[in-house]
Amino acid sequence: MNDFYFEEANILLNLEAENDKDVLVQMGRNLQELGLVHESFIDAIVAREEEFSTGLPTSTISVAIPHTDIEHVKQKSISIGVLKNEVGFGVMGDPEETTRVKVVFMLAMDEAHSQLYLLQRLMSIFQHNTMLTTIAQEQDKAKIVRLVKSELDIINEGGEVTWQKNKY
């Protein structure tokens, strides 16, 4: 299964959560119900977030980009959770500090190089405040899917994920 799966079912809008762990469990459960990750994924992503925080303050909306090891993934995917109320996540590189996260981009990649490349692509688009604001406010999942696929230049060709040349 080399396809990249990112459709409306991968997006959770107005997600209500008590804390960062609750966010990870709910989003991980959604990916599991979609058949994209193994049962071990939820525990693995929670454990990794505890060890390596992924909260990222931006100039407008703080995000988190939780991910875990490839052996917990069945099919390449990304899930986006737009939180009803911001939740504190440890800041990447400084877990003692927290940031109030509004949008979570959960990565489920089955190849290490794909995960690294997608992280790099996401980091470049986080610098574009308009996109983050749009995702945080948009209520039409289809529009979010189109926007994210366009921004990441994701193309599925013959079952393989390819990215067009970075346009930034």
Q: Which domain holds residue 48?
A: 4-163
pLDDT number for residue 43: 98
Answer yes or no: pTM beyond 0.85: yes
26 in a domain, yes or no? yes
- CATH number, position 23: 3.40.930.10
Outline where DSSP puts E strands in the chain. 4-5, 11-15, 55-56, 62-64, 76-91, 94-108, 154-157, 160-163
59-104 pLDDT, tens digit per residue, is: 889 999 999 999 999 999 999 999 999 999 999 999 789 999 999 9
168 in a domain, yes or no? no
Q: Indicate the number of domains in the chain.
A: 1
Decide if 16 contacts 84 (C-beta within 8 A).
Answer: yes
Query: What is the band of 153 on the pLDDT scale with cuts at 50, 70, 90?
Result: confident
Q: Which residues of 77-89 are buried (b: 16+ CB within 10 A; e: fewer)?
A: bbbbbbbeeebeb
